[in-house]
Amino acid sequence: MPAPYLTAPISADPRPALSLAAQAPTFTTSQASSWWSSLPYPLTLFLNTESQEKWTSYENLFLACLRTGDYPTAYTCLEALIARFGKTNDHILALQGLYQEATAQNTGELEEVMKAYDEVLREDPTIFSVRKRRAALLRSVGKAAEAIADLTVLVDASPTDAEAWAELADLYLSQGSLEQAVYCLEEVLLVMPNAWNMHARLGEVVYMSAQKMEGGDQMKALAESMRRFCRSIELCDGYLRGFYGLRVTTGTLLETLQGAKKGQPTTSDPLAGDLAPPSVATVKKLNAVATAKLAEIVRRGTAGEKGWDGYSEAELKAAKDLIDRDTQRIER
């Protein structure tokens, strides 16, 4: 099975999804028209073409077709999955719900989908895939508060589900409750402590919350944000997002440290205590390291060197803009 079918087309970039959806009809017809699938039952046992790649491909093509709007092919893929795994399989129920959500034309049909989810959950409340789809449907129609309530029940029942905590953090962030978002991201990191991208995400959210604070609390939040980005760089060599965040937080921290008075009142955490604020020398060194590394990544990434082609154009451009903006400020 060719490799492109093995990655799910759920990233922000629509191009992989488009190419997958274009190949979907040929894949489904090739699977259906193979001569051995039309043999009677006993003989098909001997000529088995079953493989994990086959069903992963079916699922990824299904997702790509839903995304691009090719509903007939999506339904063919779904039928093949149902034929193999059964209608009441947890994951297949979620895929069926996904299909119905995608093909719903108006809010009335979406309400029908919601009723179907409730029906499934009434019979068996432990189907987490359907619970997640229900929360996602509530969010997509705009009922954020109900989605948050649903997700809170979900994480209460399953506190090690990092995906649910991450979605809850995103929901809180979209509603502007930064403190709760920080709490949820910390829970994600409890479950997956080596997730360098979640350390960077937490750094970003804490930085956002620092913008709204003042005085000693702001200093503490900026220091925390800087430490999160440092941790993400410890976990991943040459992490562009981590170095970008480190550059931004150290820049802001230097400005606030230079304009600050000593001994500002802060709220102290009764459980964990306080870390000492970082010294100006340390912050300056980190700033210099971050700038140098960003410059190197931008240079090598834009040159397209072997082993440095994994950065996206948008990321590289943003890093370049950050460096250029600060060099302009120095020149002025």
Partner 1 sequence: MAAIATAINVLGVLFLSHAVYSAYEHSLLPSASTPSMLSHSLLPASLDPKITLPLDITLETLFSVLLLCAGMVLSCADLKPIQWRAWAGRLEASQEAREVKEVGVGGGNPYQALEERVGFWDISGVGKATRGWMDGGGDKKGKGRV
Provide the binding-site residues for partner 1, judged by CB under 8 A. 3, 6-8, 10-15, 17-18, 52-53, 56, 63, 66-69, 94, 98, 101-102, 104, 129, 132-133, 135-136, 139-140, 162-164, 166-167, 170, 188, 192, 194-198, 201, 234-240, 307-314
Sign of CA pseudo-dihedral 243, 232, 201, 64: positive
| CB closer to partner 1 out of 94 and 283 | 94
CB 165, min distance to partner 1, A: 9
CB 311, min distance to partner 1, A: 7
Q: Which residue has the tokens 């943003």?
A: 318
| CB closer to partner 1 out of 22 and 280 | 22
| CB closer to partner 1 out of 13 and 324 | 13
CB 161, min distance to partner 1, A: 9
CB 284, min distance to partner 1, A: 24
Give the C-alpha separation, 245 to 234, whole Å.
13
> 187 and 172 in contact (C-beta within 8 Å)?
no
**Number of neighbours of residue 70 by Cβ within 10 angstroms:** 18
Give the C-alpha separation, 45 to 67, whole Å.
35
Question: Which of 286, 276, 293 has its CA nearest to residue 254?
Answer: 286
Question: What are the tokens at 57?
Answer: 């491909």
| CB closer to partner 1 out of 220 and 293 | 293
| CB closer to partner 1 out of 270 and 304 | 304
| CB closer to partner 1 out of 161 and 257 | 161
Residue 42 backbone phi and psi in degrees, to 5: -65, -35
Looking at residue 9, what DSSP letter applies? Answer: S
Question: Which of 48, 127, 53 has its CA nearest to residue 95?
Answer: 127
Residue 237 backbone phi and psi in degrees, to 5: -65, 135
CB 18, min distance to partner 1, A: 7
Terminal-residue alpha carbon distance, the chain? 57
Question: What are the tokens at 194?
Answer: 């080596």
Which residue type occupies 63?
L
**Number of neighbours of residue 303 by Cβ within 10 angstroms:** 9
| CB closer to partner 1 out of 155 and 260 | 155
**Reduced to 3 states, what is the DSSP secondary structure of residue 46?**
coil
Question: What are the tokens at 126?
Answer: 């432990």
| CB closer to partner 1 out of 13 and 255 | 13
Largest CA distance in the chain: 84
Looking at residue 194, what DSSP letter applies? Answer: T
